[in-house]
Structure 1
Amino acid sequence: MTRVENAPAVDLQDERLLAPKTLGDSVRAAVRRVRDGDLGMLPVFGGIIVIWTVFQLLNRTFLSSTNLVNLSFDIVPVGFLALGIVCVLLVGQIDLSVGSVSGVSAAITAMVMVQYGQPTWIAIAAAVAAGSVIGWVYGQGFNRFAVPSFVMTLAGLLAFLGVQLWLLRGQNAVNLPYDSNLVQFAQLWFVPAWLAYVFAVLAAAGVFAAGWIGARTRRAAGLSAVSMRLLVMRSALILAALVFAVYYLNRTRGVAWMFMLFVAFVLVMHYVLSRTKFGRSVYAVGGNPEAARRAGINVKRVYSWVFVLCSTFAAIGGVLAAARLAAATQSTGTGDVNLNAIAAAVIGGTSLFGGRGSAFSALLGILVIQSISSGLTLLNLDSSYRFMVTGAVLVVAVALDSFARRSRQAHGRG
């Protein structure tokens, strides 16, 4: 059967695939996606607004510039762990050992810097390399020996906790040199005000450029594309929001370099997952491993890489946690760190069923969790309330994910 001459493009025959032309089209498309169960980031944005509003009403200092700067520091170490968890959840797997891996990397950093007197960059490289090797071992165990990721990483949680204690040699803590660049970076280094505004402008320009390139590509293929006016409006709104955020944080100390590092990694991973062949393979494997294999994707290689990425990000988080405290302790990476990382990824919108989510899930999810912790601390409430509230938010997030999944299937969105 030949294609009918001058027939409309495929996306013009299905309103769900049409690119919005105006702001009204964007709103109607968003409402339609929500109605069909494609909630996207809407629940987590709504949750952040509710949480911030409630805590601001209860304590007027919650949304102060000083507290938000502290919050931007606090989200980074566990945020890196959550970014790694996003990667493994996207392929339908789990890593329960990210906390222990971060503890080992913190211990390695401290031992190399303090006990062996090596430069900071060597300590960081050794810690991150150790995390990558751990991820590679997980990948081999999962691919070659078919050990379930739950069991394998649970064993790693226990084993690497022991390695962490062994590395510290019975010491409760190993203090890092306070004048080292690593500690200064995690506590005192801030982006100059003018440069922060430059970053805001570049970010908005990047959003516009990506949208313009995508629209041009779609038009060249004969598909509908976003209008230039809508692209400009969207970029202008993002620019206004970023400029205001920079202005508000600069009222006290400013934008922390450590927070900028985390944002940079989130943006890089967003590009990798959404714009590269590897990223498409990750989503394909998470959606249906057998279908991905039949499509020619090396499924085992994808599994190996996501485990490596997860453990590598956990190691980076451990290094930054040690730098933030200026010490590596026996409790680094223990307690609720594992659960907070996993909860952040899920609350941020990454599906436990695999195949759905984004790198921004880590940023938004950990922002929710740390906002709860910060707000309850300002109210002088103990950690028991934080555990209960975080648990309740996690249950709601998983329930929404399950409901949205059934709704998408009912409406043919997969």
Structure 2
Amino acid sequence: MNAAERAVPGRGRPIPEDGAAYTLRDLASRFATRLRDGELGSLPVVIGLVVIAVLFQALNPRFLAPGNLVNLTLQAAPLGVIALGTVVVLLVAQIDLSVGSVSGLASAIVGVCAMRLQWPILVGVAAAIVAGAAIGAFYGFLLTRFGVPSFLITLAGLLAFLGVQLALLGPSGSINIPFTDPLVQFANTWFLPPWAAYVVAGIAALAVLGTGLARRRRRMRAQLPAEHPSVTIVKAVALLVALGIVVWYLSLDRGTAVMPVLFLLLVVVISYLLRRTRWGRSVFAVGGNVDAARRAGLPVTRTLVTAFVICSALAALGGVLSAARLGSATTLTGSADTNLNAIAAAIIGGTSLFGGRGGAWSAVLGVLVISAISSGLTLLNLDSSVRYMITGAVLLLAVIVDSLSRRSRASRGRG
């Protein structure tokens, strides 16, 4: 080692004085190594999305048309919000089977508050989200205080809150929300002007660049290997180009809808909380090994409770968005397949069913897969039974990949 290099304590590899560790070549080598070790990450989901797009486009040229993709993003956003909360619960190695019922209850609360009680719509939305958060806190209390398995707690909640939803909706089974209502307008007709969409894309790229360079500075100060600035710049430019293409293509029809942007903003917030905060580190630790987390002095009880609070609050928000999209709160809002699709989206996107592995962006990938399958089959005029069978097969494949990856990591650990 020469004077221009300094060693990292406890590591054999020196870091050049200019911080030129983890170049593009290094990252490509690490990626190839992970693939050989069975660490596939999100690659199977991305490949699956490409296959789905090519297949449905070949069967119906309208699948990748700008108008259909705009509809797909609007359709995916409410389910994506619910799936995002499901990801958080799965990360702590728990499950919530009642997200569909909670979303349906939230839609009923909005309908009752806005239409029957004549409250301002924002008050109704706030009441629905607060009710969802309270349900999550109740789940967390039962789990941590009495040790009742979350499977049973949320199964009971599925039935109970479905009953509350039906009671609120009354004999008619639905509450219509006028199309002129701001909430319905938000979910159906609010689109960003092209210039504003490009500005949002630019802000996202600058955020990636800024956070990457800040992370590099922190790691260099701690004498840890850090990405070369060129790697961060390439990532930011690639994101800017990709988002620019998406914005341009969607602008050929109605443009970029505001509701999907809200969903992506929530994903960014949850991703930051999971990856950059003490609470997020506790989530992964509890999901990986709850006993070890408890012995390490981590707030296990608080982590579990907050995970359920976030899950149910996001489920309630997803229900509000679903009602806004439909222009009514009905018994079909939050129906049985909402539970299944939300959990399936989280798992298909790469969140482990066994806890401790995954991320907020899993919800985006998973809901895109499910929404693409639904949209493609609708264009082909195929029965919904086919959609259920295909989605089930994709879910099974995702669980198998997750199990094989987990087994591979375990065997390497024993080795």
TM bracket, shorter-chain basis:
over 0.9
Q: For 2:179, give the aligned amino acid.
A: Y
Contact 1:36 1:413 in 2 (8 A): no
Asked if structure 2 preserves the Cα contact closer than 8 Å seen for 1:103 and 1:161, the reply is yes
Question: In structure 2, what is the Cα distance between the partners aligned to 1:55 and 1:14?
Answer: 50
Shift of 1:251: 0.7
Aligned mates of 1:189, 1:147 — CA distance in 2: 43
For residues 275-317 of structure 1, give each alpha carbon's deviation from its aligned partner in whole angstroms, at most 9, with x where no partner exists: 0000000000000011111111110111100010110000000
Q: In 2 relative to 1, CA 26–117 (structure 1 residues): closer, same or farther, beyond 3 Å?
A: same
Distance 2:390 2:21 in 1: 38
Give the letter for the 1:329 counterpart: T
Q: Distance in 2 between matches of 1:14 and 1:75?
A: 46
One-letter amino acid of the counterpart of residue 219, structure 1: M
Query: 1:221-260 deviations in whole A, cap 9, x for unaligned?
Result: 1122111122212211111101010000011101110000
Quote the offset at 1:329 in angstroms.
0.4
Which amino acid counterpart does residue 229 of structure 2 have in structure 1?
Answer: M
Task: Normalising by structure 2, report the TM-score.
Answer: 0.95
Q: Report the alpha carbon displacement of residue 36 of structure 1 after superposing the two structures with TM.
A: 1.8
Residue 292 and residue 117 in structure 1: after superposition, are their counterparts in 2 closer, same or farther (change >3 A)? same
Assess if the C-alpha contact under 8 Å between 1:11 and 1:224 holds in 2: no
Q: Which amino acid in the other structure matches residue 356 of structure 1?
A: R
Change (3 A) 1:11 1:376: farther
Shift of 1:11: 4.7
Cα separation, 1, equivalents of 2:334 and 2:68 = 24
Confirm or deny: 8 A CA contact 1:20 1:26 kept in the other structure: no
Please give the alpha-carbon distance, in whole angstroms, between the structure 2 residues aligned to 1:22 and 1:245.
Answer: 28
Match of 2:252 in 1: 251
1:146 aligns with 147
Q: Is the 8 A contact 2:8 2:14 kept in 1?
A: no
- Extract unaligned runs of 5+ from structure 2: 1-5
Corresponding position of 1:104: 105
Q: Is the 8 A contact 1:12 1:223 kept in 2?
A: no
Separation in structure 1 between the aligned mates of residue 157 and residue 279 of structure 2, nearest angstrom = 26
How far apart, in 2, do the equivalents of 1:218 and 1:8 lie? 11
| Residue 3 (structure 2) aligns with | none
Q: Give the match for residue 55 of structure 1.
A: 56
> How far apart in 2 are the matches of 1:20 and 1:67?
44
Partners of 1:73 and 1:258 within 8 A in 2: yes
Question: Counterpart of 1:294?
Answer: 295
Q: Distance in 2 between matches of 1:128 and 1:342?
A: 20
Change (3 A) 1:304 1:37: same
* Corresponding position of 1:335: 336
Distance 1:125 1:19 in 2: 49
What is the CA-CA distance between 1:38 and the residue it aligns to? Answer: 2.1
- Opposite residue 215 of structure 2, the aligned amino acid is G
Query: Matched residues in 2 for 1:258 and 1:14: separation?
Result: 47
| Match in the other structure for 1:3 | none
Provide the rounded CA distance (Å) in 2 between the counterparts of 1:86 and 1:262: 14
Cα pair 1:187 1:324 within 8 Å, conserved: yes
Q: Give 5+ residue unaligned stretches, structure 1.
A: 1-5
Please give the residue correspondences for 1:15-414 in structure 2 after superposition, counting only pairs within 5 Å.
21-412=22-413
C-alpha root-mean-square deviation of aligned residues, in Å? Answer: 1.7
Distance change >3 Å, CA 198–CA 7, structure 1 → 2:
closer
Distance (Å, rounded) in 2 between the aligned partners of 1:19 and 1:292: 35
Q: Report the count of equivalent residues.
A: 407
Shift of 1:100: 0.3
Give 1:163's aligned amino acid: V
- 1:28 Cα shift? 1.3
Specify the SS of the correspondent of 1:336. helix
- TM-score w.r.t. the length of structure 1 is 0.95
Question: Match of 1:161, as an amino acid?
Answer: L
Q: Give the Cα separation in 2 of the matches to 1:280 and 1:8.
A: 24
